[in-house]
Amino acid sequence: MSSLQIRRIASHLLLTKQGFYKRPLLTVNCATKQIISVEQYGDNLDSLEGVEFYSGILCNGFVNAHCHIELSYLKGAIQEGVGYAGFAGAMAAVRGNFTDQERQRAIAEADDAMWSEGVDAVADIVNDNSSFAVKSRSKIDYHSFAEVFGLKKSNLELCKHLAANPQTTLSPHSTYSVQSADFDYICKNGTAPLSIHFMESEGEYLLYKGEGPLAEWYKSAQFKCDFLHHNSPAKRIVNSIPATRSVILVHNSFVSEEDIDIIMNHFSAPVYWVLCPRSNRYISGSIPQTVELLRAKKLNICIGTDSLASNHSLSILEEVKALKDIPLFERLNWATNVGAAALSVDNRGIINIDGVNLNTMQLTENSRAKRVL
């Protein structure tokens, strides 16, 4: 092995799955991204030759556990705080206003920004073909989910074509937007994890009681649901998805303890619970109160950005900052190791987070994530 391929990297802290490791000195093989050794340095760091020092924290690359990169052209196009119905209406109104070129440029810029901030892998929702060219050139490891929806007219056939792209899985959009035949077909075919929007609003639960904004909208639009006999979104999930198939549940803003128990009692495969705090705040004005419930239940929590239609950036570090009341170790573990487990990615890069207040163990306004390896 030539010495060119070896780098020695030190920092204040290293994030491990067990906690923060102090005064780490890493020896890494740049070609394979493998960490050859981790030592603890003493007072002799200055005298060691060829060591690069990074202030703050070193950790494995981030995983964005929920994104829609194809919607990047909608950055700034939709007003904040309009609520879920307002957001859906605004999306429909502005979607047609952009050229293919503008869409492609926005996707490429978003991909660049995520890579330079240290994102190694993304769970990305697709509704069309527009993101696959950028993905095929990207250094980021994308796992795409072709999102099936439509109560009157389903897009299942289109999604089957999309699912022919590399690392792409058919997935139901949610428990309220897909009829039984499609939902069951998707859940019973295939073994890759499914990614499902889940309990983003209370209306999803109320629909099964014939109440709330979704029930009213469907009534006025004359949409008939053939799945309400399941009685709740959580019960529909466990009645439809084999226990051995892993699921990535996204948002969870209104999930209850009962919902969690129903789901966890069913699955033998891992269940991942994704939080997208800044997207929720963009749309509804607040961050979910359910974070503490998910923590108390010791669930596998991951972090996602959702799309630039409902976020100011696709920055995982900014999502981590938004959850400021949670101990930093947990938040960073969710953003790195738990997300990587959800997508079964290993061999990730190393990133540095600087601008950390090491006394309070809080990120600051000035904290930035940069790729080291």
The distance of closest approach from Cβ of residue 327 to Zn ion in the complex, given in angstroms and rounded to an integer, is 27
Give the nearer residue to Zn ion in terms of CB position, either 120 or 306. Answer: 306
Give the number of residues in contact with Zn ion, rule: CB under 5 A. 1
CB of 66 to Zn ion, least distance (A): 6
> Minimal distance in Å, beta carbon 67 to Zn ion?
8
3-state secondary structure the chain: CCHHHEEEEEEEEEECCCCEEECEEEEEECCCCEEEEEEECCCCHHHCCCEEEEEEEEEECEEEEEECHHHHHHCCCCCCCCHHHHHHHHHHHHHHHCCHHHHHHHHHHHHHHHHHCCEEEEEEEECCCCCHHHHHHCCCEEEEEEEECECCCCCHHHHHHHCCCCCEEEEECECCCECHHHHHHHHHCCCCCEEEEECCCCHHHHHCCCCHHHHHHHHHHCCCCCCHHHCCHHHHHHHHCCCCCCEEEEECCCCCHHHHHHHHHHCCCCEEEEECHHHHHHHHCCCCCCHHHHHHCCCEEEECCCCCCCCCCCCHHHHHHHCCCCCHHHHHHHHHHHHHHHCCCCCCCEEEEEEEECCCCEEEEEEEEEECC
Query: Between residue 240 and residue 259, which ones bind Zn ion under the rule CB under 5 A?
Result: none
Instruction: Decide whether 171 or 367 has the Cβ nearer to Zn ion.
Output: 171
Of residues 306 and 319, the one with the C-beta less far from Zn ion? 306
Tell me how far, at minimum, the Cβ of 144 lies from Zn ion, in Å.
13
Q: Which is nearer to Zn ion, 197 or 236 (CB)?
A: 197
Nearer to Zn ion, 307 or 336 (CB): 307
CB 290, min distance to Zn ion, A: 17
| Minimal CB distance residue for Zn ion | 306
Nearer to Zn ion, 194 or 353 (CB): 194
Residues 295-324 that bind Zn ion (CB under 5 A): 306
Residue 154 CB, shortest distance to Zn ion, in Å, is 19
Binding positions for Zn ion, rule: CB under 5 A: 306
